Amino acid sequence: MKKLGFLKRRYLLNRKEMEIRFIRIAAVFLITAVSSAQQLGSGFADNVPDLTQPIKSGIYELNTTNYVNGDGSASWYHLFVMRHSNQSNNHQLQLSSSYTENDRLFFRKIANTQGAVWNELATRGTNNFIGNQSVSGNLGVGTLNPVTKLSVVGGISKLTETGVDGIFDNLIKYGYKSDLESGTSYTNRWHGIDATITAGTAEQNKLKFKLYSGGTGNLVPVDVMTLLGNGRVGIGTVNPDSKLTVAGNIHAQEVKVTARAGEVPDYVFANDYKLKSLEEVESYIKQNSHLPEIPSAKEIEKNGLMLAEMNLSLLKKMEEMTLYMIEMKKENLVMKEKQKQLENTVQELKKIVKQ
């Protein structure tokens, strides 16, 4: 009798130890699964057939078709199933990890005997995220040490409605997508600004700002401003030929133009300045149909108008004209004096005649 009691107690102790070991193994499995899910990476498992019927809670290792059909990446699976305690309630959550694929963890939810596709948690490998993703810290792509809210090491593909538009070293995009426009060609269109940096020579290395203004007629972005690697800036053009090239009108309250020393034509008033005679100017105009040192209409139409140069040239002509007027004023004074003398002479003659 004592021996039977001893064996019974020994049996209960062994059973208790087995239950404790089972709980420890399950806890270790869960801790490992959770820690593995926190590793960096991305991915989405292939679709596989659903379960024919819900299975009991527990840990499964062998690919037994009567119980489970796992992620399909290997011939041996580790599966952990959690379900409702009520056997008539078929809702359950399944976690699966393949034996041969490192650090891959899958899950799916079974509801009322209706299976679901396997989804891979963000562990390692190739993943596809569905829905909104929220990151409270810094996010790194191609780097383990992101220093800003989004740090990207490597190129970025610029996507369009028809596919990949190109691969660039850098891409900055600000704006929003709108589905207010009617028609499939205009649904969910991008509106905003697109800054693209392309590599190449000084003329090819460009920072282009594109504007999507919306509307059914605006199917492609419009280049509004371009910065070249050689320091040139283009507004309304992608090929600026000067430090600032504007294809269009400019509206400003004031424009300041600086001049180099010696360019301002105050030298016209110097004593040694050789002023052309009016006869010489007249001869030049008859021959060329424009003033000396002033470009012709054809030259301006072909090469454009240099504001600083033209303003200084016009100022020079005004100063020369001032000299002509001063000279004419002197000549007029001389003529008036001679006229006065002549009038006095006439008066004297009239007096003599009357006598």
- What is the pLDDT at residue 81? 72
pLDDT in tens, the chain (355 residues): 555 555 555 555 566 566 555 555 554 444 433 333 222 223 333 333 334 344 554 554 444 433 445 555 554 456 777 766 666 666 777 777 766 555 667 777 776 655 567 776 766 666 666 677 777 888 888 888 888 888 877 766 555 555 555 555 455 665 555 544 444 555 555 555 666 666 666 666 777 777 766 555 555 667 788 888 888 999 988 889 899 999 999 998 998 888 888 888 999 999 999 999 999 999 999 999 999 999 999 999 998 888 889 999 999 999 999 999 999 999 999 999 999 999 888 888 888 887 7
Q: Which residues contact 223 (CB under 8 A, 6 or more apart)?
A: 208, 209, 210, 236, 237, 238
- In the chain, alpha helices (H): 2-37, 278-288, 297-303, 307-354
- What is the pLDDT at residue 171? 58
What's the chain's Rg over C-alpha atoms? 46
Q: Which residues contact 39 (CB under 8 A, 6 or more apart)?
A: 103, 123, 124
The three-state secondary structure class of 196 is strand
**Length of the chain measured in residues:** 355
End-to-end CA distance of the chain: 189
Measure the CA–CA gap between 83 and 75, rounded to whole angstroms: 25
- What are all long-range contacts of 89-96, with beta carbons under 8 Å and residues at least 24 apart? 90/54, 92/54, 92/55, 92/57, 94/51, 94/68, 95/33, 96/68, 96/70, 96/71
- What is the pLDDT at residue 226? 87
- What is the pLDDT at residue 286? 94
Measure the CA–CA gap between 189 and 214, rounded to whole angstroms: 8
- What is the pLDDT at residue 259? 83
Contact 238, 208 (CB under 8 A): yes
- What is the pLDDT at residue 198? 63
C-alpha dihedral, 239 to 243 to 249 to 255, nearest 10°: 180
How many of the other CB atoms lie within 10 Å of CB of 261?
5
Q: Which residues contact 109 (CB under 8 A, 6 or more apart)?
A: 91, 92, 93, 94, 116
